[in-house]
Amino acid sequence: MNGPISASVASTHHSPAHALERLVFFSDAVFAISITLLVIELHVPVLPRNAPDLDYAITLFNLTPHFIGFFASFFVIGAFWGGHHRAFDCARHWSPRLMRPNLFLLCTVAAMPFFTAFMSDYYGKRVPTIAYCVWLLLVAICNLWNNSMAVSPGIAADDLDPEHAALMKRRGWAVILGTLTALAVAAVNPWIALFALTSMPLWRLVLERLHRRRVNRTIR
């Protein structure tokens, strides 16, 4: 009994599906660690125990930039993880071509806590905010590269609707355009640059409308 079972297990562990699972599990771990490290920059303020309530309130208020940076990066990394999950949910076949874009994406995501801390410590300053947006743009580019590879022919499920694959790519482009918007705002007014990231859903709508127009013209 041991011989056939061992052979079956060995076959499973060397199957393309197993390699794909290992890549996804490793990626999930990097996303989870990166998103957790963001909270390290939320340092508990040190005050005398007999300090008045107003001092506590003021000190907590002064941490606002750090909380803004934390929540912004938390949901940004979460959105990248969601996109990664949706893309690899479409993947069915292992290919070494997945390794490079996935590692580049994870590398850029892993550095997000540093750029978040740099921006939060100097909130409202142009250079730290631009540095954050530039790095986020790099993450977005790697995200598009990686997810496009995951839904490409030969890797995606054989019955994957090409329209769905195109939708995944449009989502990636919407993230890039939203990040470019934040970068442009940061150059003018770094105080509100992070709020410009909320333009991503709007860019997605714009790209969807442009896509529908192209489809309608083709039909006609």
Q: What is the pLDDT of residues 69-103, one digit of tens each?
A: 999 999 999 999 999 999 999 999 999 999 999 99
Q: Does residue 186 sit within a domain? A: yes
Q: Does residue 113 sit within a domain? A: yes
Residue 156: phi and psi, rounded to 5, are -70, 165
Which domain covers residue 35, as residue numbers? Answer: 17-219
Q: Does residue 12 sit within a domain? A: no
Res. 49 pLDDT band, cuts 50 70 90: confident
Res. 18 pLDDT band, cuts 50 70 90: confident
When divided into structural domains, the chain yields a total of: 1
pTM of this structure: 0.87
Q: Does residue 7 sit within a domain? A: no
Q: Does residue 6 sit within a domain? A: no
More confident residue, 43 or 172: 172
Q: Which of 70-79, 101-110, 208-217 has the lowest mean pLDDT?
A: 208-217
Q: Does residue 35 sit within a domain? A: yes
Residue 190's pLDDT is what? 96
Q: Does residue 69 sit within a domain? A: yes
Does 4 have pLDDT greater than 50? no
How far is CA 92 from its chain centroid? 22
Residue 220's pLDDT is what? 66
Task: Say which residues have a Cβ less than 8 Å from residue 168's Cβ, sequence separation at least 6.
Answer: 83, 86, 87, 90, 147, 148, 150, 151
Q: Does residue 2 sit within a domain? A: no
